[in-house]
Amino acid sequence: MIYSKSTIKNIADSIGVPKLKDEITSAMAQDVEFRLHEIITEAMKFMRHSKRTKLTVTDINSALRVRNVEPIYGFETGRPIKFNKTATALEEIYYVDDEVIDLDRLMEEPLPSVPLEVVYTAHWLAIEGVQPRIQQNPAPIDEEEPAAKKPAKTPQRQDSVETIPLVKHVLSKELQLYFECITESLVSPDPLVKSTALESISIDAGIHQLVTYFVQYVAMTVKNNLNNLSTLNTAMAVAKALRRNPNLFVEPYMHQLIPSLLTCLVSKRLCESYTEDHWSLRDGAAEQIAEICQQFGQSYHTLQARITRTLLRAFLDPTKPLTTHYGAIVGLTKLGVSIIKVLVLPNIKAYMSLLDAEMEKRDNQQLIYDGAHCQTALINVLKTLARDSDDIEPVGVTIPQRSRLAEVVGDTLARLVFDDPDAGKITAAVLAANKEAKAKETSK
């Protein structure tokens, strides 16, 4: 046995358990030997997995932790352990010399430097599959030229302005081929091919690296084809498909997408002939802008306010064409009933005076045609207001009610409202909203 009976008795006496029987000391010695064998066997496993041939203190401590035993403190792997032997009357004892520490010298030594405070910093490892070229990220390696042969790129200073090279955006050949096929399909005369391409954009999960290219495609298409209605409809369909794809993160590209949508909403001319149905294009753009404001309005608090200000300026500018006025009216209507009550309804009567003057020019058929659509848009504004006022009872379709309505929206629009089957409901909603607005002004 490794431990003799006398050793067990000495240890028992040191902890206050005297006069152990020989049977107990023998059993305890055997158990200690078995436990040591287990610990050494477990420690050798750690040694072999560490690709070493020398057993260390760390291996022993790891084995103790595996056995749920507190490790032995005071021993380090890097410090050699030297045992000294001493003899007593009964047996030989091995011990380790303790280092003698001079307290006076220890007190005179300077204090160690204060360790730095632990802080955490965050940085982008990759954005949409592209690794930003910042200090925290590893330097990109060009596949065409080994990194060792490439000269180090340093920021160039021109006129005290630091110029940083642009980040190279590398697309795989598959994605390049996909983008080319999609863009070719979008200009195909076959409606089935075009709809298939749009469906692929709206559901494909592997095109996140192409989002910036599709956004640029929409912007360039709108910019270069302001008189091609079919191409503009395709560009708006691509924008809608990108936003509807649940696998794409398009929020960083909204600032590039919104100008294209606003162009298709309030642009002066979107087709060759004024008889073409560019009104549907403007309605679709207004709907997309309203969806963007609803989706990202919580994250960007000034988004809807800026868009509303742009549309209101276009609506109230008498120098703008009627097509621009139509887009502004539709856009403001899609933004919600509160916008209608605060911004549109108080300005309808003044705008109708301008519109009536334009439509009196009988020699210009386009003005009459565009003015009729503006009137329809204003009727839809009032209908939207009526649909939101479910708790208001319709009023009677009488001449006095028509006169009251004309004071708010003008004679021409009041006449058109009274030709509608829901004239009573619309009139009640408009008069109630006007009364509410006057009450707020009085309270101020």
Q: What is the pLDDT of residues 193-212, one digit of tens each?
A: 999 999 999 999 888 889 99
How far apart CA 316 and CA 282 sit, in angstroms, is: 18
pLDDT class of 145 with cuts at 50, 70, 90? very low
For 39, other C-beta atoms within 10 Å of its C-beta total: 17
Higher pLDDT, 359 or 45: 45
CA terminus-to-terminus distance, the chain: 100
Residue type, 443: S
Which comes out higher in pLDDT, residue 75 or 118? 118
164 vs 154: CA distance, rounded Å: 8
Indicate the pLDDT class of residue 112, thresholds 50, 70 and 90: confident
Between CA 257 and CA 236 the distance in angstroms is 10
Asked if the model's pLDDT at residue 11 lies above 90, the reply is: no
In the predicted model, is pLDDT for residue 59 greater than 80? yes
**How many whole angstroms separate alpha carbon 285 and alpha carbon 330?**
9
Give tens-digit pLDDT for 295-345.
Answer: 888 888 889 999 999 999 999 999 999 999 999 999 999 999 999 998 999
Q: What is the arithmetic mean of pLDDT over 112-134?
A: 81
Query: What is the mean pLDDT of the segment spanning 238-253?
Result: 90
Task: Return the H-helix or E-strand segment holding 86.
Answer: strand 83-87
> Per-residue pLDDT for 236 more than 80?
yes
How far from 3 is each of 43, 122, 181, 412, CA to CA, in Å? 20, 57, 82, 113
DSSP annotation of 81 reads P
Q: How confident is the model at residue 140 (pLDDT cuts 50, 70, 90)?
A: low
Beta bridge partners of 92: 87
Q: Is the pLDDT of residue 160 over 80?
A: no
Band (233; pLDDT cuts 50, 70, 90): very high
- Contact at 8 Å (CB) between 214 and 238? yes
How does residue 14 score in pLDDT terms, banded at 50, 70 and 90? Answer: confident
pLDDT at position 3 over 80: no
Q: Can you tell me whether residue 161 is helix, strand or coil? A: strand
pLDDT for res 362: 67
Query: What pLDDT does residue 144 have?
Result: 45
- Non-local (6+) Cβ contacts of 393 within 8 A are 428
Query: Looking at residue 80, what is its pLDDT?
Result: 65
Residue 147, pLDDT above cutoff 50:
no
Q: What is the mean pLDDT of the chain?
A: 85
Q: By mean pLDDT, which of 225-234, 281-290, 365-374, 431-440 is the weakest?
A: 431-440
Q: Is the dihedral of CA 40, 46, 49, 54 positive or negative?
A: negative
The stretch 38-61 carries a mean pLDDT of: 90
pLDDT over 90 percentage in the chain: 32
Query: Phi then psi for 83, rounded to 5 degrees?
Result: -95, 135
- Tens of pLDDT along 396-440? 888 888 888 889 888 999 999 898 888 888 888 888 888 888 887
Tabulate helix, strand, coil % of the chain (nearest 5): 60, 5, 35
Question: What pLDDT does 148 receive?
Answer: 47
Quote the distance between the C-alpha of residue 126 and its chain's center: 14
**Residue 278 burial by CB count (10 A; 0-12/13-18/19+): exposed, middle or buried?**
buried
